[in-house]
């Protein structure tokens, strides 16, 4: 069952040799420098009655964790401060439901952003007060999102907040306007399409517009900004009309927009005619999804999500994407509305089949040619999922470790992109080892990171084995995993006046070797262990 208990050989750190520290269970273990791992820390407030109970209040990246002369990492939690103000509309008769978002980048590379939201309810010219309570001074993004954003554009502020600050927002102020007309390549105005514009340079967003169906202004749109953009990414699509129409992105660079502003002024932009591909009338297309059981009998696959995707256009900036989705019924059939080729020829679609979690069949991706008339096309046969079998054993004596959680996550490349051959990257099954340390998982073929999560009685750090191959050509794949031997990182949590903070949950994350020690990284950091600070503010974290 593994070493759930070790004979006590220490009570205090000074009873251990140099470079060692006393663990909570009384064993001298090596003391690690967080930067060598490298390690990041998250602090969650678990004090009973705290207004921040259960919330992440502070995080530190590897370069911020510097042990003192005793090898202890001292974490000082600043006093809380607030951002407060009022959100209002700019006209007496104007009201809208709104949401307030706040987020910032974690100091731990690979942990993404931390965010919070609050519903403002109905906002009018009288204003709705808000307050955001923060502890970590940092660069924050505040965003007011009107719901819907058809009349009012979203508002965004990027700023470093260090102390109590007041920030007010006014919805409905128009400082910039983009106009244009949406037409297809045959010259026909496109009616009732959705147009929305975003500026990736500043984060400014426009109102969401619908192209006009009025005879005197067919296909025209008007998108308004409060925050003035520096570049334009114009997204067009069918919206909720049910019409099959390509989604097309038109981009106006900083230099293009600067040249326009120099010549025409800074209060708006005229996009003119934006041309999207003209499409043939949609057809109804169907396919059947099936596989074969281990005994060789045919089985239809119900409940599978099937997505058809095709690029349309002539290979220029008027390219678009057509996407249709459906779910297989009890007979394994799915039907969708698709755009055929140019009336007489077929069109090639990339088809992605995502099977249910409990299905014995693997998700897949293939290409299908869709003809010019309605009907059923080629059926899609699925391979069976692979049975991944493995055993988890102790690094000390090779004994089996029971009740260890084993989770399989599709591997992420050094660029942060999932393996291209993996279809359903949200499919992350987990199980526990039995009394003999064995586990079984049913997986799609591909590359996986296997994470071992240990119960408290087993004094090992959580361990991840990266880029393990689950081969499609095998009915089963066997693994043998053994965790790293434990070491310690000692942490002292205190407030701004140096007083110890108890009941703070400290979580240790190992930063991926592909990531920098500071800044953003798309490769996820791995949770190693967690511990709560005691009455003296001390916490001992188990690390490799």
**Euclidean distance between the first and final Cα of the chain, in Å?**
20
Q: Which residues make up the CATH 2.60.40.10 domain(s) of the chain?
A: 176-266, 283-371
pLDDT average, residue stretch 202-223? 94
207 and 244 Cβ atoms separated by less than 8 Å: no
Nearest Cα to Cα of residue 174 among 221, 209, 228, 226: 226
Distance CA 180, CA 236 (A): 12
Distance CA 325, CA 510 (A): 38
Distance CA 288, CA 331 (A): 8
The residue among 478 and 535 whose pLDDT is bigger is: 535
User: Strand pairing of 487-495 and 538-543?
Assistant: antiparallel
pLDDT average, residue stretch 416-436? 74
pLDDT the model gives residue 238? 78
Task: Return mean pLDDT, the chain.
Answer: 90
pTM, rounded to two decimals: 0.86
Above 90 in pLDDT, residue 233? yes
pLDDT average, residue stretch 433-442? 96
What tokens does 201 get?
Answer: 């340079």
Determine the CATH number of domain 176-266: 2.60.40.10
Fold for 386-474, please state it. Answer: Immunoglobulin-like (2.60.40)
- 544: three-class secondary structure by DSSP: coil
| Model pLDDT for residues 157-167, shown as the tens digit of each residue | 999 999 999 99
pLDDT the model gives residue 120? 96
Can the peptide bond before residue 274 be classed as cis, meaning omega within 30 degrees of 0? no
| Model pLDDT for residues 79-88, shown as the tens digit of each residue | 999 999 999 9
Q: Which residues make up the CATH 2.60.40.1120 domain(s) of the chain?
A: 386-474
Above 80 in pLDDT, residue 373? yes
Apex 68 CA angle, 515 and 495, nearest 5: 90
Distance CA 169, CA 395 (A): 58
- What's the DSSP call for residue 64? G
| Model pLDDT for residues 80-123, shown as the tens digit of each residue | 999 999 999 999 989 999 999 999 999 999 999 999 999 999 99
Above 80 in pLDDT, residue 6? no
Distance CA 56, CA 43 (A): 6
Phi, psi of 217 (to 5 degrees): -145, 35
Above 90 in pLDDT, residue 489? yes
pLDDT the model gives residue 474? 58
437 and 458 Cβ atoms separated by less than 8 Å: no
Instruction: Report residue 257 CA to chain centroid gap.
Output: 31
Fold for 283-371, please state it. Answer: Immunoglobulin-like (2.60.40)
pLDDT the model gives residue 543? 95
| Model pLDDT for residues 245-265, shown as the tens digit of each residue | 788 889 999 999 999 999 998
């Amino acid at each position: 069952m593994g070493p759930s208990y070790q004979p006590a050989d220490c009570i205090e750190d000074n009873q251990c040799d140099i470079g060692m520290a006393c663990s909570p269970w009384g064993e001298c273990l090596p003391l690690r420098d967080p930067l060598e791992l490298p390690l990041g820390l998250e602090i969650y407030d678990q004090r009973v009655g705290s207004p921040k109970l259960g919330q992440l209040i502070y995080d530190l990246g590897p370069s911020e964790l510097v042990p003192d002369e005793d090898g202890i990492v001292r974490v000082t939690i600043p006093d809380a401060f607030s951002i407060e103000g009022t959100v209002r509309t700019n006209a007496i008769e104007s009201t809208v439901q709104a949401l307030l978002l706040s987020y910032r980048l974690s100091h731990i590379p690979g942990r993404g952003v931390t965010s919070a939201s609050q519903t403002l309810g109905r906002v009018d010219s009288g204003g709705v007060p808000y307050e955001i309570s923060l502890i970590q001074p940092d660069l924050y993004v505040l965003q007011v999102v009107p719901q819907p954003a058809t009349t009012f554009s979203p508002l965004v502020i990027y700023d470093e907040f260090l102390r109590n600050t007041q920030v007010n927002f006014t919805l409905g102020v128009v400082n910039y306007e983009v106009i244009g007309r949406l037409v297809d390549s045959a010259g026909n105005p496109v009616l009732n399409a959705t147009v929305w514009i975003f500026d990736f340079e500043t984060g400014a967003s426009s109102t969401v517009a619908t192209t006009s169906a009025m005879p005197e202004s067919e296909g025209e749109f008007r998108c308004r900004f409060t925050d003035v953009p520096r570049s334009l990414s114009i997204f067009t699509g069918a919206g909720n009309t049910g019409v099959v129409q390509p989604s097309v992105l038109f981009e106006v660079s900083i230099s293009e927009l600067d040249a326009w502003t120099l010549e025409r002024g800074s209060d708006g932009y005229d996009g003119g005619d934006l041309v999207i591909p003209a499409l043939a009338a949609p057809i109804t297309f169907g396919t059947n999804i099936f596989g074969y059981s281990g005994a060789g009998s045919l089985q239809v696959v119900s409940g599978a999500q099937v997505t058809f995707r095709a690029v349309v256009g002539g290979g220029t900036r008027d390219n678009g994407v057509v996407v249709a989705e459906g779910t297989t019924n009890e007979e394994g059939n799915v039907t969708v509305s698709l755009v055929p080729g140019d009336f007489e020829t077929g069109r090639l679609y990339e088809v992605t089949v995502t099977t249910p979690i409990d299905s014995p069949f693997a998700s897949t991706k293939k290409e299908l040619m869709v003809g010019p008339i309605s009907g059923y096309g080629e059926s899609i046969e699925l391979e069976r999922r692979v049975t991944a079998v493995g055993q988890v054993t102790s690094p000390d004596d090779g004994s089996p470790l029971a009740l260890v959680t084993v989770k399989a996550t599709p591997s992420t490349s050094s660029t942060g992109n999932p393996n291209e051959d993996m279809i359903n990257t949200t499919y992350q099954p987990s199980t526990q080892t039995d009394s003999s340390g064995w586990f079984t998982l049913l997986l799609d073929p591909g590359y996986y990171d296997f994470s071992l999560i240990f119960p408290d009685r087993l004094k090992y750090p959580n361990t991840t084995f990266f880029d393990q191959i689950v081969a499609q050509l095998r009915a089963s794949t066997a693994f043998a995993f053994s965790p790293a031997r434990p070491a310690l990182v000692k942490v002292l949590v205190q407030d701004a006046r140096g007083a110890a903070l108890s009941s703070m949950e400290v979580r240790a994350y190992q930063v991926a070797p592909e990531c920098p020690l500071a800044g953003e990284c798309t490769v996820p950091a791995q949770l190693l262990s967690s511990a709560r600070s005691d009455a003296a503010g001390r916490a001992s974290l188990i690390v490799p």
